[in-house]
Homo-oligomer: A and B are copies of this chain.
């Protein structure tokens, strides 16, 4: 078990709320994700606006995975001492643009002076019908949106000091909120792919106590590509057609790659950023 998981485990006896992309209390859904320099990104890879944008999107992705509509955000931003006011405006504009796009109000947070740019965001969302990781049923079809693999490739490039295209999903995740809210009533379990498909499948397996029968072999380039922020979800076969129709309507490609069976699934893939 890695240290992050060990630390989280210290709290899981205390509450059953830990373990999904977000915590549900009544109709409210709370998620908090860190986006730290040299942990989740390097400053050379992205503009400040892109950094702020991605930090918001990865948090909104958690809300979408829970079938929750984000309403409010708290931003804690640790700002490097050498930032100019122009830098601060660029950063703020990134946060504000995403907030506007998603109808989110930025209601507070904290700002401090630090060595590096470390962002921690809390998103407060609402859901009438939250979707959990624990909802997989035997025989469910297992599916992810979009294409996986490009983020791993781009991450490799970035780590070698090469420039990444601004349209890369590593720079700006392509969230599938409209599609996912549309099909949410047909979905049994979901989470977003932040640490790679194989790793997320292990999480799904743990939460739902199921194994997966793969229809085709999935290469490690696809299965271990993190930072994708595609949706991974399961549903009953009887809802396949409705889900396909919605995917077509929203121009989202679907990859139905496995079905849920009895057992448990483990991967050797590691949960790491870089």
> Which residues of A line the B interface, CB within 8 A?
3-4, 6-8, 10-11, 14-15, 17-18, 20, 22-23, 25, 28, 30-34, 36, 38-40, 72, 74-79, 83, 85, 88-89, 91-93, 95-96, 99, 105-115, 118, 120, 122, 124, 273
Of B7, B14, B96, B114, the contact of A36 (CB 8 Å cutoff): B114
The reply to whether B107 and A7 form a contact with Cβ atoms under 8 Å apart is no
The reply to whether B111 and A33 form a contact with Cβ atoms under 8 Å apart is no
Q: Please indicate the chain B residues that have their CB under 8 angstroms from the CB of A122 in the complex.
A: 30, 32, 74, 122
Closest chain-B Cβ to A257's Cβ sits at a distance in Å of: 28
In the docked arrangement, what's the CA distance between A212 and B38, Å? 46
The reply to whether B108 and A6 form a contact with Cβ atoms under 8 Å apart is no
In the docked arrangement, what's the CA distance between A32 and B114, Å? 17
In the docked arrangement, what's the CA distance between A105 and B11, Å? 10
Q: Please indicate the chain B residues that have their CB under 8 angstroms from the CB of A3 in the complex.
A: 79, 83, 85, 88, 111, 113
Name, among A14, A23, A77, A122, the residue most crowded by chain B CB atoms within 10 Å (CB to CB): A122
State whether A6 and B99 are in contact (beta carbons under 8 Å apart), knowing that A14-B106, A33-B76, A34-B112 are contacts in the complex.
no
Residue of B nearest to A84 (CB): B3
Closest chain-B Cβ to A241's Cβ sits at a distance in Å of: 35
State whether A114 and B17 are in contact (beta carbons under 8 Å apart), knowing that A3-B79, A85-B3 are contacts in the complex.
no
In the docked arrangement, what's the CA distance between A89 and B6, Å? 9
Q: What are 15 of the A-B contact pairs (CB < 8 Å)?
A: A3-B79, A3-B85, A4-B112, A4-B113, A7-B91, A11-B95, A15-B107, A22-B108, A30-B74, A32-B76, A33-B76, A33-B110, A36-B118, A74-B122, A118-B118
State whether A32 and B118 are in contact (beta carbons under 8 Å apart), knowing that A23-B72, A91-B7, A96-B11 are contacts in the complex.
no
Closest chain-B Cβ to A71's Cβ sits at a distance in Å of: 8
